[in-house]
Structure 1
Amino acid sequence: MAGPLLFDRALLRRRLDRAAGLGPATFLIDRAAEDLADRLGAVSRRFETALDLATPTDAAVRALEGHPAVGRVIRAAPLDAGLRPGDVVADPEALPFAGEWLDLAVSLLALHWVNDLPGTLAQVRRALRPDGLFLAAMLGGRSLSELRQAFAEAESETTGGLSPRVAPFADVRDLGGLLQRAGFALPVTDVDKVVVRYGSPFALFDDLRRMGATNALTERRRVPLRRATLLRAAEIYQQRFADPDGRVRATFEILWLSGWAPHASQQKPLKPGSARMSLAEALAPKSQNRP
């Protein structure tokens, strides 16, 4: 049975297209791309065929093509703008790929918008050759917590109710389990917390439009946002989340996840009962010889 449709994927594609026309705000993706290059540098192997999955800009492609351990790079994106010969138009929820042909798959700040993340991870896993690597960054659940609070209170005051405004992003504690469920070996997750300061809440709102990150929830209210609600949200934001110099803070939580397609050469956990020492023996205090 299909899960709930949290995001309006068609609307999201239009928002990303609009962001490209406005001149995208790329500082988070650029940061993730630098981190991607560093993480690949710690892996001592060659990736002949690599896929960039749905990264909204070409930052991941540039990081991969500039890396000495990476060969051919293919980009798969939901929009055809900026694609090159050999790239493909593809939605990450329905990948048009046959099994086991990739050595590396990466995605930067895109997978938090998919409705079926476990299904997407399973598709990526099937596309990787044995000992292929998946490495991705996505926004986490603490992202834009300040904005979430400001809008919730402002809307409650001005309309007497609440509607979803900020996406319910994943929690890092859940991602390791999702990787294992999709069939990845050696799953690893970690967090990069980024605090950005703005001259005003409206500067943050503008950046979110230029990221294509404004509200694309299917349960969003289908009427224009009231001016009174917007102004009250900005006022609450300024009051609660401003530093002494008047600039406001916005928190972005970047979750990194990685996993390998299983291979016989990889480390495996010991079989139950194979230990040479009991837990009681390991924890027993050791005698010390003093001079």
Structure 2
Amino acid sequence: MAERQVPTIFSPARRMAARRRADPATASYVLDDMVDEVIERLAFIRHEPGNALIIGDRTGRLAQVLPGARSVDPADGFDEERPFPAGGHDFIASLGTLDTVNDLPGALVHLREALAPGGLMIASFVGAGSLERLRAIMHAADGERPAPRLHPMVDIRSGAQLLQRAGFADPVVDGHSLPVRYSSLGRLVGDLRALGLSNVLAEPGPPLGKAALTRARAKFDELSDSEGKLLERFEIITLSGRRR
């Protein structure tokens, strides 16, 4: 049987660099939202992990409510596309990292394999429908020669199919919107860097020139409200399932 070929959409080196530049002290509202979601779900199902693995929580908040949990991060070299070095976890949380792996089905399989039987996985990431106004701004900036600026994203339907494909029991997929208002294009771009959500495509577009940047700012102003604020939305998708 031929080995499955995984397309290289994202650059692992750019991904690691983006996460190393991320600064929760500057902006962490997307990650905070994901952490709150995990904490609420654990409380609702009354799941009290004794051997938890936390992936990608740069705020450290989730580790504070899960004593003894092990925290790892792709920024430190943890690779979700390879078999995990340790297993038997009764709970794994993956926060804001799965949206930029090249082999998402494989990463989900590795998550499932790292769980003990009956163990629970919750994974949250920014999904399809996010940053629609920024996409419009970048399209206006590039004009007739659009360049890759924002990567393709997973939607809820695809998330459900991926969980089933990865062999999770009791798969659940849902999503919600996180609205944020920005006072300038620079603030929006700066927050994306601080959130670790900047462009990590393997073949990113060229930097915006002076004329393109002018067009981008003009489009930002056009889409802004009467107070000069742009309302942008992050669509947060959450996948959960158990190992049989």
TM-score normalised per structure 1: 0.78
Give the 5 Å matches for 1:138-287: 138-156=125-143, 160-221=144-205, 223-240=206-223, 242-262=224-244
Which residue pairs with 2:74 in the alignment?
A: 78
Measure the CA separation in 1 of the matches of 2:34 and 2:162.
Answer: 21
| Counterpart pick for 1:11 among 10, 14, 18 | 14
Q: CA deviation at 1:24?
A: 4.1
Q: Does 1:124 align with 2:142?
A: no
Return the alpha-carbon distance in structure 1 between the equivalents of residues 72 and 163 of structure 2.
Answer: 21
Aligned with residue 51 of structure 1, among 45, 49, 53 = 53
Higher relative contact order (CA 8 A, sep 6+): 2
Q: Counterpart of 1:62?
A: 64
* Bigger radius of gyration: 1
How far is the alpha carbon of 1:225 from its aligned partner? 2.2
- Kindly indicate whether the alpha-carbon contact (under 8 Å) linking 1:98 and 1:127 is maintained by their aligned counterparts in 2: yes
Work out the CA distance in 1 between the residues paired with 2:169 and 2:177: 26
Relative distance call for 1:152 and 1:123 in structure 2 (3 A) is: same
- Secondary structure of the equivalent of 2:66? helix
CA RMSD of aligned residues (A): 1.7
Q: Which runs of 5+ in 2 are unaligned?
A: none
Q: Identity, % of aligned pairs?
A: 35
Q: What SS class does the counterpart of residue 257 from structure 1 fall into?
A: strand
Matched residue SS, 1:47: coil
Aligned partner of 1:33 in structure 2 is: 35
Gaps of 5+ in 1: 66-71, 81-88, 263-291
Q: TM-score, normalised by structure 2?
A: 0.92
Structure 2 counterpart of 1:29, one-letter code: L
CA shift for structure 1 position 244: 2.2
Query: What is the CA deviation profile of residues 85-106 of structure 1, one whole-angstrom value per residue up to 9, with x for unaligned ones?
Result: xxxx51111243245x110000
- Number of aligned positions between the proteins: 241
Conserved 8 A contact 2:174-2:239: yes
Q: Which runs of 4+ in 1 moved over 6 A?
A: none
Contact 1:16 1:56 in 2 (8 A): no
